[in-house]
Protein backbone atom coordinates (compact mmCIF):
# COMPACT_ATOMS: atom_id res chain seq x y z
CA UNK A 1 0.00 0.00 0.00
CA UNK A 2 1.01 3.65 -0.20
CA UNK A 3 2.97 5.60 2.37
CA UNK A 4 0.10 7.91 3.30
CA UNK A 5 -2.94 5.69 2.69
CA UNK A 6 -3.66 2.02 3.19
CA UNK A 7 -6.36 -0.64 3.19
CA UNK A 8 -7.30 -1.95 6.63
CA UNK A 9 -7.99 -5.64 7.33
CA UNK A 10 -11.73 -4.92 7.54
CA UNK A 11 -11.76 -3.65 3.95
CA UNK A 12 -11.77 0.13 4.29
CA UNK A 13 -9.41 2.92 3.29
CA UNK A 14 -7.47 4.98 5.86
CA UNK A 15 -5.52 8.17 5.14
CA UNK A 16 -2.74 9.57 7.32
CA UNK A 17 -3.85 12.89 8.80
CA UNK A 18 -0.47 14.67 9.06
CA UNK A 19 0.42 14.82 5.33
CA UNK A 20 -3.24 15.44 4.45
CA UNK A 21 -3.24 18.48 6.73
CA UNK A 22 0.16 19.70 5.51
CA UNK A 23 -1.32 19.99 2.01
CA UNK A 24 -3.94 22.41 3.31
CA UNK A 25 -2.03 24.78 5.58
CA UNK A 26 0.91 27.08 4.99
CA UNK A 27 2.70 27.02 8.29
CA UNK A 28 2.02 27.05 11.99
CA UNK A 29 1.41 30.50 13.54
CA UNK A 30 2.79 30.10 17.09
CA UNK A 31 1.88 33.59 18.34
CA UNK A 32 -1.78 33.18 17.42
CA UNK A 33 -1.80 29.61 18.75
CA UNK A 34 -0.44 30.78 22.09
CA UNK A 35 -2.91 33.64 22.25
CA UNK A 36 -5.86 31.33 21.55
CA UNK A 37 -4.80 28.82 24.22
CA UNK A 38 -4.22 31.52 26.85
CA UNK A 39 -7.53 33.17 26.00
CA UNK A 40 -9.29 29.82 26.29
CA UNK A 41 -7.92 29.29 29.78
CA UNK A 42 -9.57 32.49 30.97
CA UNK A 43 -12.88 32.40 29.11
CA UNK A 44 -15.89 30.13 28.88
CA UNK A 45 -16.86 28.60 25.52
CA UNK A 46 -19.37 31.46 25.23
CA UNK A 47 -16.56 34.01 25.61
CA UNK A 48 -17.36 35.20 29.13
CA UNK A 49 -14.44 35.68 31.57
CA UNK A 50 -13.93 32.74 33.91
CA UNK A 51 -13.73 33.20 37.65
CA UNK A 52 -10.15 32.58 38.83
CA UNK A 53 -11.17 29.62 40.99
CA UNK A 54 -12.87 27.92 38.02
CA UNK A 55 -9.94 27.84 35.61
CA UNK A 56 -9.96 24.21 34.44
CA UNK A 57 -7.13 24.29 31.93
CA UNK A 58 -7.82 24.24 28.21
CA UNK A 59 -6.93 20.55 27.85
CA UNK A 60 -10.18 19.56 29.58
CA UNK A 61 -12.42 20.96 26.84
CA UNK A 62 -14.45 18.79 24.49
CA UNK A 63 -14.42 19.28 20.73
CA UNK A 64 -17.73 21.16 20.87
CA UNK A 65 -16.40 23.42 23.63
CA UNK A 66 -13.18 24.10 21.74
CA UNK A 67 -15.08 24.98 18.58
CA UNK A 68 -17.34 27.36 20.52
CA UNK A 69 -14.33 28.84 22.32
CA UNK A 70 -12.49 29.36 19.04
CA UNK A 71 -15.47 31.15 17.50
CA UNK A 72 -15.73 33.37 20.60
CA UNK A 73 -11.98 34.08 20.41
CA UNK A 74 -12.36 34.97 16.73
CA UNK A 75 -15.08 37.49 17.54
CA UNK A 76 -13.02 38.98 20.37
CA UNK A 77 -9.97 39.42 18.12
CA UNK A 78 -11.83 40.86 15.13
CA UNK A 79 -11.63 37.76 12.90
CA UNK A 80 -14.41 37.01 10.44
CA UNK A 81 -15.84 33.50 10.09
CA UNK A 82 -15.65 31.84 6.68
CA UNK A 83 -18.54 29.96 5.10
CA UNK A 84 -18.78 27.24 6.24
CA UNK A 85 -16.86 28.16 9.36
CA UNK A 86 -16.64 24.73 11.04
CA UNK A 87 -15.65 21.41 9.45
CA UNK A 88 -15.44 18.20 11.49
CA UNK A 89 -13.91 14.92 10.32
CA UNK A 90 -15.09 12.05 12.50
CA UNK A 91 -15.50 8.56 11.12
CA UNK A 92 -14.08 9.60 7.73
CA UNK A 93 -11.02 8.15 5.99
CA UNK A 94 -8.63 10.15 8.17
CA UNK A 95 -6.87 8.13 10.87
CA UNK A 96 -7.75 10.75 13.50
CA UNK A 97 -10.69 12.89 14.54
CA UNK A 98 -10.09 16.42 13.27
CA UNK A 99 -11.96 19.73 13.40
CA UNK A 100 -11.28 22.99 11.57
CA UNK A 101 -12.52 26.53 12.18
CA UNK A 102 -11.94 28.71 9.11
CA UNK A 103 -11.39 32.43 9.69
CA UNK A 104 -10.12 35.62 8.09
CA UNK A 105 -8.15 37.96 10.38
CA UNK A 106 -8.43 41.78 10.27
CA UNK A 107 -5.55 41.98 7.78
CA UNK A 108 -7.49 39.65 5.45
CA UNK A 109 -5.23 36.65 5.98
CA UNK A 110 -7.10 33.33 5.85
CA UNK A 111 -6.61 31.20 8.95
CA UNK A 112 -7.42 27.63 9.92
CA UNK A 113 -7.66 26.67 13.58
CA UNK A 114 -7.18 22.90 13.73
CA UNK A 115 -7.73 20.41 16.54
CA UNK A 116 -6.62 16.79 16.18
CA UNK A 117 -8.03 14.17 18.55
CA UNK A 118 -7.65 15.52 22.09
CA UNK A 119 -4.63 17.70 21.36
CA UNK A 120 -4.74 21.44 21.93
CA UNK A 121 -5.72 23.30 18.76
CA UNK A 122 -3.20 25.19 16.66
CA UNK A 123 -3.57 28.13 14.27
CA UNK A 124 -2.27 27.90 10.69
CA UNK A 125 -2.47 29.87 7.50
CA UNK A 126 -5.17 28.38 5.26
CA UNK A 127 -3.69 27.52 1.86
CA UNK A 128 -6.76 25.82 0.36
CA UNK A 129 -7.91 27.37 -2.90
CA UNK A 130 -11.41 25.95 -2.38
CA UNK A 131 -13.36 25.10 0.75
CA UNK A 132 -14.05 21.70 -0.81
CA UNK A 133 -10.38 20.83 -0.30
CA UNK A 134 -11.11 20.62 3.43
CA UNK A 135 -13.75 17.96 2.77
CA UNK A 136 -11.78 16.00 0.17
CA UNK A 137 -10.03 12.80 1.30
CA UNK A 138 -9.49 11.25 -2.12
CA UNK A 139 -7.16 8.34 -2.76
CA UNK A 140 -5.53 7.17 -5.96
CA UNK A 141 -5.93 3.52 -6.99
CA UNK A 142 -3.19 2.32 -9.34
CA UNK A 143 -1.43 -0.82 -10.52
CA UNK A 144 2.09 -1.47 -11.75
CA UNK A 145 0.99 -1.45 -15.38
CA UNK A 146 -0.06 2.19 -15.32
CA UNK A 147 -3.81 1.80 -14.88
CA UNK A 148 -5.28 4.16 -12.32
CA UNK A 149 -8.30 5.97 -10.92
CA UNK A 150 -9.04 8.53 -8.21
CA UNK A 151 -11.57 7.39 -5.61
CA UNK A 152 -13.12 10.52 -4.20
CA UNK A 153 -15.86 9.46 -1.78
CA UNK A 154 -18.77 7.07 -1.73
CA UNK A 155 -19.00 5.45 -5.17
CA UNK A 156 -17.55 8.40 -7.09
CA UNK A 157 -14.51 7.62 -9.24
CA UNK A 158 -12.40 9.68 -11.66
CA UNK A 159 -10.61 8.07 -14.57
CA UNK A 160 -7.10 9.03 -15.72
CA UNK A 161 -8.60 11.56 -18.16
CA UNK A 162 -10.73 13.05 -15.33
CA UNK A 163 -14.00 11.58 -16.56
CA UNK A 164 -16.59 10.76 -13.90
CA UNK A 165 -17.61 7.16 -13.33
CA UNK A 166 -18.41 4.92 -10.35
CA UNK A 167 -16.70 2.19 -8.37
CA UNK A 168 -19.28 -0.39 -9.47
CA UNK A 169 -18.91 0.41 -13.17
CA UNK A 170 -15.15 -0.13 -13.01
CA UNK A 171 -14.68 -2.80 -10.32
CA UNK A 172 -17.95 -4.69 -10.45
CA UNK A 173 -21.23 -4.71 -8.62
CA UNK A 174 -20.79 -6.68 -5.42
CA UNK A 175 -21.11 -5.81 -1.74
CA UNK A 176 -17.38 -5.25 -1.07
CA UNK A 177 -16.53 -3.31 -4.25
CA UNK A 178 -13.76 -2.43 -4.99
CA UNK A 179 -12.22 -4.91 -2.55
CA UNK A 180 -11.77 -8.61 -3.19
CA UNK A 181 -10.02 -11.43 -1.33
CA UNK A 182 -6.50 -12.36 -2.38
CA UNK A 183 -6.95 -14.62 -5.45
CA UNK A 184 -4.16 -17.00 -4.40
CA UNK A 185 -5.15 -17.51 -0.75
CA UNK A 186 -6.93 -20.82 -0.10
CA UNK A 187 -10.52 -20.67 1.14
CA UNK A 188 -11.34 -20.70 4.84
CA UNK A 189 -11.06 -24.07 6.54
CA UNK A 190 -13.51 -24.63 9.42
CA UNK A 191 -13.96 -20.88 9.74
CA UNK A 192 -10.20 -20.24 9.89
CA UNK A 193 -8.58 -18.02 7.27
CA UNK A 194 -5.41 -19.44 5.72
CA UNK A 195 -3.21 -17.02 3.79
CA UNK A 196 -0.78 -17.64 0.97
CA UNK A 197 1.83 -15.60 2.81
CA UNK A 198 0.41 -12.17 1.96
CA UNK A 199 -0.51 -9.65 4.66
CA UNK A 200 -4.11 -10.85 4.68
CA UNK A 201 -5.68 -7.49 3.86
CA UNK A 202 -8.33 -7.30 1.12
CA UNK A 203 -7.18 -6.64 -2.40
CA UNK A 204 -8.17 -4.12 -5.02
CA UNK A 205 -7.68 -6.04 -8.23
CA UNK A 206 -7.07 -4.07 -11.42
CA UNK A 207 -10.08 -4.63 -13.71
CA UNK A 208 -7.87 -4.04 -16.77
CA UNK A 209 -4.91 -6.37 -16.18
CA UNK A 210 -5.75 -8.30 -12.99
CA UNK A 211 -2.74 -7.07 -11.00
CA UNK A 212 -3.03 -6.07 -7.36
CA UNK A 213 -3.52 -2.30 -7.00
CA UNK A 214 -1.90 0.03 -4.51
CA UNK A 215 -3.55 3.11 -3.06
CA UNK A 216 -2.13 6.48 -2.07
CA UNK A 217 -3.46 9.80 -0.83
CA UNK A 218 -4.36 12.06 -3.73
CA UNK A 219 -2.38 15.27 -4.14
CA UNK A 220 -4.31 18.54 -4.43
Q: What is the pLDDT of residue 130?
A: 94
Q: What is the pLDDT of residue 174?
A: 83
Per-residue pLDDT tens listing for the chain (220 residues): 689 999 998 889 999 999 999 999 999 999 999 999 999 988 888 888 887 655 555 556 889 999 999 999 999 999 999 999 999 999 999 999 999 999 999 999 999 999 999 899 999 999 999 999 999 999 999 999 999 999 998 899 999 999 999 999 999 988 889 998 777 777 665 555 666 777 778 889 999 999 999 999 998 7
Q: What is the pLDDT of residue 186?
A: 72
pTM: predicted TM-score of the whole model, two decimal places: 0.87
- Local structure of 87: helix, strand or coil: strand
Q: What is the pLDDT of residue 7?
A: 92
Q: Are 207 and 174 contacting, i.e. CB atoms less than 8 angstroms apart?
A: no
Rounded to whole angstroms, the Cα distance separating 65 from 57 reads 12
Domain boundaries, the chain: 1-16+135-220, 25-127
Q: Within its chain, how far is the Cα of 62 from the centroid?
A: 19
Q: Are 18 and 5 contacting, i.e. CB atoms less than 8 angstroms apart?
A: no
Q: What is the pLDDT of residue 104?
A: 97
Rounded to whole angstroms, the Cα distance separating 103 from 73 reads 11
Residue 158, classified by CB atoms within 10 Å of its CB into exposed (0-12), middle (13-18) or buried (19+), is middle
Amino acid sequence: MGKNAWITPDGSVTVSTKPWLQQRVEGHLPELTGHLRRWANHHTPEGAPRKPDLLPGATLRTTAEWVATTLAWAEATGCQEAEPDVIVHQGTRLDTKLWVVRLTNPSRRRLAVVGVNHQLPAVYGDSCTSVMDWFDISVDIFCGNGHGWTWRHGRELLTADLSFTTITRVFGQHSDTPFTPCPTCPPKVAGRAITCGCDGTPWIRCPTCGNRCDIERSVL
